[in-house]
Each structure stands twice: as C-alpha cells, then as structure tokens.
Amino acid sequence: MIQHIFARLRQGHRTLNYPKVMPELPDRYPGRPEIDPKACDGCGACVAACPTGAITLNGGLCLDLGRCLFCTQCATSCPRTAIRFTGDFRMAVSRREDLLLRGQPYQLAQAMEPARRRLFERSLRLRQVSAGGCAACELDTNVLGTLVFDLGRFGIQFVASPRHADGLLVTGAVSENMRLGLEKTWVATPEPRVGIAVGACAISGGPYAGHAEAHGGCAGFIPVDLLVPGCAPHPWTILDGLLRLLGRAERG
C-alpha cells in the first residue's frame, strides 16, 4: 500500500486544468486545416488525393471539414501550400455550413440559447449512440471519463438510458440497421434535448457517404446542435465542443 501512495505522490495531479490551461499536443497531430484560396492555381492535385471528396474547386477552393478524414494527403499533394494543417484542436461548430472552409475566419461553436443553457449549464447528461461506427470516435468519447480529462468535473456525464438523458451524442454514419434504433432513442429522450454529432461519419457519412446501407450521418434523423469534426476527433476537440455548447469554454 505504501508503494501505491509513493507512486501517486510522484505522479502528481494528472487532470489538466482546461480550459484555463491549454493542452500540449504532439507535433504529428494535424489539427484544424486552413486554406488559402489565393494560393490555389486550380491544378486539382488535392481533389485527386482526397479519399472522401471533401475538396472541390467549383467556385474556388473549398474544403468540407465535415467530410475530412485528416489524412493530410491534400496538404502533401498541393504544390503551392494552399492547404495546411494548423495543429489547433478546437474545431466544433454549431452549423453544418461553418464546416465549409473557403478561407474565411473559422466560426467555432456558440452556446445554446439561454433557456436551454440555464437548464444544462451545470448538469448535462448524455446518452451515446454508436450508429454504425468503427469504435474510434466511441473510444475517444469514452476516454473523457479518465482522470486526464475528467468530464464529470464540468457536470457532464454519460448515462445508460435515454430516459435519464438531456440529449444524444451520436457517432457513426447511421447504418440502416441502426436507423430505427437512433430514432427510437431520440424519441425516448425527454424534451428539451440536445443533439451532438461526433466524427465525420456522424456529420456526413465519412468514407461511407453514398453507400446503400448508410444514411450519411445523423442530421436527417435528429436536430443537431453541435458538430465535432474529425476521424476520430481528439478527446480535447470533443471536450472543447461540449464546453462551448454550454458557454463554458472561456471560463471552465
């Protein structure tokens, strides 16, 4: 027992005081991309390199962050550095159109309307629904309960039943086999409720967009208040988005 006590003393405090203290992520973490339309000469190399069709050139260079897998092949293939990855983990938005990057300032998620914010600001219970995910987004969501992130200190917890939840956090492209389950889970969640889409699959279908057995994300089945892009999103990205939804990203 004494050895465990000494080990704890050596380890110190492991929970990061976010958002007052910013996490340090490794250099290999790509982070949010930025585009420079003026640098693009329309060669199409990035379009050809993108595995999900997230980049288009019609009307100018546009990167759909809701479809992006963060493989960085677009940045590697671009001869004019029109696309670069910034290393910034803060990416959650409130509207689908905010994920369409055309060179404009990035609009991070806004707090929910005051009435719901007063209800959920200090206590938010979420039911996580894996609607045909590969388990990557699910794992990065689950890890928020560990001592490094300590989601519970913000009053946010995951619950086993939608009857006990204030909203749903959806991962996966919504396969046909999970469509009815998602719909029933949403109906079972009492109002007022929030909808959160985590990962490229839940936002747009990701690499499964257009597949006969996938429905291209959850927006067609539930109202979405928060979109967290990534494949899979970093846990800090998910946590930052949840805090922004509650209006707590700047003060903890």
Identify the sign of the CA torsion 221, 226, 227, 231.
negative
pLDDT in tens, 145-178: 999 999 999 999 999 999 999 999 999 999 999 9
Q: What is the rounded average pLDDT of the residues 90-117? A: 96
Judge: domain 114-245, CATH 3.40.50.12280: yes
| pLDDT beyond 90 at 2 | no
Which phi and psi (to 5°) does residue 32 adopt? -70, 130
Q: So where are the chain's domains?
A: 114-245
Q: For the segment 91-101, what is each residue's pLDDT rounded down to a tens digit?
A: 999 999 999 99
- Band the pLDDT of 21: cuts 50, 70, 90: very high
What pLDDT was estimated at residue 3? Answer: 85
pLDDT of residue 251: 53
Tell whether the model's pLDDT for residue 180 goes beyond 60. yes
pLDDT value, residue 13: 66
Tens-place pLDDT, residues 193-234: 999 999 999 999 999 999 999 999 999 999 999 999 999 999
Q: Please spell the DSSP secondary structure of 61-81, one letter per residue.
A: -EEETTT-----HHHHH-TT-
Is the pLDDT score of 252 beyond 50? Answer: no
Round to the nearest angstrom and report the end-to-end CA distance of the chain: 35
pLDDT tens-place string over residues 185-194: 999 999 999 9
Q: How far, in Å, CA of 62 to CA of 208, rounded?
A: 20
The confidence score (pLDDT) of residue 9 equals 73
- Tell me which DSSP letter residue 93 carries: B
Q: What is the mean pLDDT of residues 56-85?
A: 96
- The answer to whether 78 and 70 have CB atoms below 8 angstroms apart is no
Phi, psi of 33 (to 5 degrees): -80, 155
- pTM for the complete prediction? 0.94
Over range 46-55, report the average pLDDT. Answer: 97
